[in-house]
Chain A
């Protein structure tokens, strides 16, 4: 515990020396965050290997809580991605951000504070510490999103994010107040049996689901996410998408772990929301032209996959089916870590592309594979993992959820309940196929083919400080994918926290070593075939076959939009793409343009109007608050008079 607190302090202080140093502030910050990662990972891994973690308790009778900060397996588990990604991001920022803008020291300071808030949040076991850390996280993240506040787009993104996160926090305040009324104190503790089925239990579930749903980016509460992720500096996007969204999941997981008997419809609601976020998240991603917005929509999709797993686990818990429960929760939790690894990797490599070319627009890139081989390898590894393809880590967590859902088909669940496992299976299959299409599009448009613009043609490889963290994250993805059995005991211990001890069965899964075996076979076969291809006679100087056309051009390539067009058109009932068709008329038509993009309907049609309405409502208050001092004095006088009258009467 003390090691972990030390890590927290190191993270919080990481940006402070940089305020006073003229040079090397970034290196010092990265070093401190590295120290924090070593200490924190050591403490977390000890807890995950079964050593009790300890707690911070203030003996204040009036608060009457068991502890303020507890390093339990769940906290240790969620701390791992926080520590890994924050140090990877800090290292990356040395080449990516340092010296670009005047606000670098401030950004470093806030980055360290965000890491510290996240570390405090995972340990929080009292409403007070939890909400404190939650607000700390929300505000520091807002400041980081606003790093480039000269851009109007960034200011708008930051503003929407701030509104969304505080709406969520408001709901959480209500939820924790309700919880405190039930327990008689504000500490985190298991709920009494039978409560979940009452009206209070329903209210609690709804409030937590909405409050945490805002943070996690569950559809339709996701609208703040794509603009904020696109506007933030890339290493901040990596931390936000990889870790901050997961804090919403952490909240839901903590809540589910308190409930001994969740009603079946809770699991159903989680599965339904997961299917919605998963399928529509990837569908919206297909329609994007902006690389970072595309990745942000994929975060929504992956939150959907995590919710599918959580819903499966909750269903298993309600039905008393330990296999469904363990596999569902374990799959969801492993996907939390997996997603933070590969999404961090993807955002960092997208940042390299942005750094090298200055654009995030897929249609202006292309051919970067020849110019940035390492970055392209990193992006490919991330795409491979996020599509859930073996032998990388995304496959393992999806495999666990699939397995749980298939197992849920077996026993007779009774009428009306058999549908949920099938919904999970179908959504996962559909998400898998669509994600594959979307990443083929993204990787193809950015790294393959010919450069579509001059800036893309002049791109250069990223410096080593940026490549190193990407390489480390890619290795972590490979390790979990190839040898999942190594991580099963720790995962089982975390899954145990979700209910009666069942997670211990996880390492006994016969499939985990077999996945490694098949991964090994796959690798060996690929190596053999590669060696067979190496010595072949070849010539490398021909153009691509273009049906005999003599002057092939980079503009003739298939664009990202055309690649996704078939799917976007098939899903137009949900996506509502805005298409501007060219008008061609007359004998000598003028030059014209074709344009299409997929806007976010929730943001444009629901959230933004609601926001405008609220702002207009708030304007009414200005009648009372005009800023004139005499009027305020009058208010004070009137209040005094009213009090006087009330006391006399």
Chain B
């Protein structure tokens, strides 16, 4: 175990503050990277913070068709994301809540967020939002097996079922586990792009409702509920980012070094997502399942490699 200089309470506090304050920075970084790549100046990195502050003060408009379910999506999405963030370690700093089997709870909390988001989209009765909801439900059916095969491979390699020990994998890294680990991370990178609705699966900046997935589901949200939606999306970038960054990070002797390494890696991840978005176009909708199956195959092979 790492001997931490900071007492555990302070670590938990820092974990909580990171979750609450940091997420809106990530979309800003992605947007800035894309702007720089395209030779534009682009919006400020802190743009999402300004947007959230503005939305919190604005009036919300509700469609006549909606019921309370319309609000359950934003509320449930953020609540489930925050609850899941308690379970995931940030780099080599242990998670505030950790127990045997927390991986399953982690995955299902995101399932809950997805379920409520889909329902709140259907609550408007709009055909566009129905389309987005159907796509979200369809594609997640392929992302889920990739996520779980990755968990299975890591559980097999570490004989553990807690995110804390499963992801702190390189501590005991041997040559035998390197290959599978790379495959798991490759598979999860695909899941990361799909779950966060980034290019090449979905384009958050598109303006055609017919072709969107996630953005179209929140067309009717405004004001504070929409602020929650935006914050929830950025929270997902952070929490799932922690999932795929932690196994790749080296373990440092000091706690502050671990934190620093995590923040740096998170920044790099955002830049990497921006680079992917700048360098390729979105797939046709029919190609998306094939892309996701590649993720399933990568994690599946990782598991197979661990069997021999």
Q: Residues of A with Cβ closer than 8 Å to B?
A: 366-367, 369-370, 373, 376, 380, 384, 387-390, 395, 398-399, 402-403, 406-407, 409-410, 418, 421-422, 425-426, 428-430, 432-434, 436-437, 439-441, 443-444, 447-450, 509-511, 514-515, 517-518, 521-522, 525-526, 529-530, 532-533, 536-547, 554, 556-558, 562-567, 570
Contact = CB atoms under 8 A, between A and B. Distances in A.
Interface stretch (B133-141, B239-247, B268-276): B133-141
Interface in B71-110: 71, 74-76, 78-80, 82-83, 86-87, 97, 99-105, 107-109
Prevailing SS type, chain B contact patch: helix
B101 A554 contact: no
30 contacts: A369-B69, A380-B119, A388-B111, A389-B111, A399-B104, A403-B100, A406-B103, A422-B303, A425-B148, A433-B111, A436-B111, A444-B118, A448-B119, A449-B124, A450-B125, A521-B86, A522-B109, A525-B83, A529-B75, A532-B224, A536-B59, A538-B59, A539-B61, A540-B64, A557-B130, A558-B127, A562-B130, A562-B134, A565-B134, A567-B137
Contacts of A441: 137
Interface centre among A398, A406, A430 (most CB of B within 10 A): A406
Interface in B255-272: none
Nearest to A419: B307
Q: How many B residues are at the interface, by size bracket?
A: 35 or more
Nearest to B153: A409
B98 to A, nearest CB: 8
B8 interface: no
Given A440-B118, A510-B100, A562-B134, A448 B149 contact: no
Given A426-B148, A436-B137, A522 B80 contact: yes
Nearest to A444: B122
Contacts of B144: 429-430, 432-433
A71 to B, nearest CB: 33
Nearest to A563: B134
Given A406-B101, A449-B65, A526-B76, 10 more contacts: A426-B148, A437-B141, A443-B119, A511-B99, A536-B59, A537-B58, A540-B64, A544-B125, A546-B126, A563-B134
Nearest to B126: A544
A503 to B, nearest CB: 17
A433 B289 CA distance: 14
B131 interface: yes
A406 B158 CA distance: 11
A446 B140 CA distance: 23
Interface of B: 58-65, 67, 69, 71, 74-76, 78-80, 82-83, 86-87, 97, 99-105, 107-109, 111-112, 114-115, 118-119, 122-131, 133-135, 137-138, 140-145, 147-149, 151-152, 155-156, 159, 161, 209, 219-220, 223-225, 228, 289, 303, 307
A390 B130 contact: no
A395 to B, nearest CB: 6
Given A429-B145, A440-B119, A521-B86, A557 B127 contact: yes
A422 B114 CA distance: 25
A538 B130 contact: no
A387 B114 CA distance: 12
A194 B78 CA distance: 56
Interface centre among B83, B124, B135, B155 (most CB of A within 10 A): B83
A421 B111 CA distance: 22
Contacts of A537: 58-60, 223
Contact of A518 (B86, B143, B147, B225): B86
Given A389-B108, A422-B152, A542-B64, A366 B76 contact: no
Given A367-B125, A399-B104, A410 B156 contact: yes
Given A367-B65, A562-B134, A533 B75 contact: yes
Contacts, number: 245
Contact of B101 (A380, A403, A563): A403
B75 A530 contact: yes
B138 A440 contact: no
A533 B130 contact: no
A448 B115 CA distance: 14
Contact of A515 (B105, B119, B137, B161): B105
A395 B119 CA distance: 19
A543 B119 contact: no
Contacts of B161: 403, 406-407
A370 B67 CA distance: 6
A449 B101 contact: no
Contacts of B220: 544-545
A544 B87 CA distance: 37
A367 B149 CA distance: 39
A554 B109 CA distance: 33
Contacts of A448: 67, 69, 119, 122-123, 125
Contacts of A443: 119, 122
Nearest to A366: B125
A373 B69 CA distance: 11
Nearest to B224: A536
Contacts of A545: 63, 124, 126, 219-220
A542 B100 CA distance: 48
A554 B130 contact: no
Nearest to B140: A433
Contact of B223 (A395, A432, A536): A536
Interface centre among A389, A439, A515 (most CB of B within 10 A): A389
Nearest to A524: B79
Contact of B61 (A407, A409, A538): A538
Given A429-B148, A562-B130, A563-B134, A390 B100 contact: no
